[in-house]
């Protein structure tokens, strides 16, 4: 059955539908086979004063087949389904972007905290180096003003004082450097692994040299 309905004359689907001035539809063949009086007296027309002639009929350029409209409906439904899928994908992308944004903010906070700690350790290192320098100066001044006895002063005492100076100068600095490299290496604020092993020969060489010297070089012996 046509979605336009049926012709009121032949009671079948419209074939080449035409419209009369009052707006009613008829098949062209039905309108031509019936006289104007029969159309005028038809119950389908509420205005019987008009004379409906065949030349006054107007052609309706409408498709009587529902296939085209059904095709459009199917296209609309497919587009609506595609819109739903795109909305779901858009929602997932928004969630993913929010998660990445939160991760970036968290990493930024961690990086700032690590930078602050590195700065604090650098300041502490500078302060300890200054204290170490002051302590060494005070130790030298105190040793210079200490009274010395000729009976107890000798080459061996000078050797001991020089060795003790080496130990006092290097052991605090070695401990300080190990502490700072350990703190920085644990956090790796800039993503760089600090190879502490490469610094060991430079740091330990004076101390190792001292222990070798006191174990190999014999102390002078004096007979009194």
The per-residue pLDDT for range 50-91, each reduced to its tens digit, is 444 445 555 565 555 556 677 788 899 999 999 999 999 999
CB atoms under 10 Å from CB of 49, counted, come to 6
Alpha-carbon span 209 to 40, nearest angstrom = 131
In the sheet where 17-19 sits, what is the strand order?
Answer: 25-27, 17-19, 58-59
pTM of this prediction exceeds 0.85: no
pLDDT at residue 28 in the model: 73
- Residue 17 in contact with residue 29, Cβ under 8 Å? no
Instruction: Please give the helix or strand (H or E) that residue 23 lies within, else none.
Output: none
Q: What is the pLDDT of residue 222?
A: 41
| Segment 205-218, tens digit of pLDDT | 455 445 544 444 44
Residue pair 206/163 in contact (Cβ under 8 Å)? The answer is: no
Per-residue buried b or exposed e for 17-31, using 16+ beta carbons within 10 Å of the residue's own CB? bbebeeebbbbbebb
* Cβ neighbours around 197 below 10 Å, total: 7
pLDDT at 34 over 50: yes
> Using one digit for the tens of pLDDT, what is the confidence trace for 13-27?
767 776 776 667 777
Nearest-angstrom CA–CA distance, 26 and 28: 6
């Amino acid at each position: 059955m046509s979605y336009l309905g049926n012709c009121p004359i032949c009671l079948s689907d419209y074939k080449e539908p035409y419209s009369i001035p009052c707006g009613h539809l008829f098949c062209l063949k039905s309108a031509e086979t019936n006289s104007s009086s029969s159309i005028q007296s038809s119950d389908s027309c509420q205005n019987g004063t008009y004379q409906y002639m065949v030349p006054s009929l107007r052609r309706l350029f409408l498709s009587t087949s529902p296939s085209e409209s059904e095709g459009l409906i199917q296209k609309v439904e497919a587009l609506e389904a595609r819109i739903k899928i795109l909305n779901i994908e858009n929602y997932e992308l928004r969630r993913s972007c929010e998660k990445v944004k939160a991760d970036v903010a968290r990493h930024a906070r961690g990086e700032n905290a690590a930078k602050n700690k590195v700065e604090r350790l650098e300041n502490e290192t500078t302060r300890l180096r200054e204290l170490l320098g002051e302590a060494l100066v005070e130790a030298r001044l105190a040793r210079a003003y200490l009274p010395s006895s000729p009976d107890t002063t000798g080459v061996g005492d000078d050797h001991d004082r020089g060795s003790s100076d080496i130990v006092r100068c290097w052991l605090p600095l070695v401990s300080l450097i190990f502490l700072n490299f350990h703190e920085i290496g644990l956090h790796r604020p800039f993503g760089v692994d600090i190879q502490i092993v490469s610094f060991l020969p430079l740091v330990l060489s004076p101390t190792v040299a001292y222990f070798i010297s006191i174990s190999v070089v014999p102390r002078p012996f004096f007979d009194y």
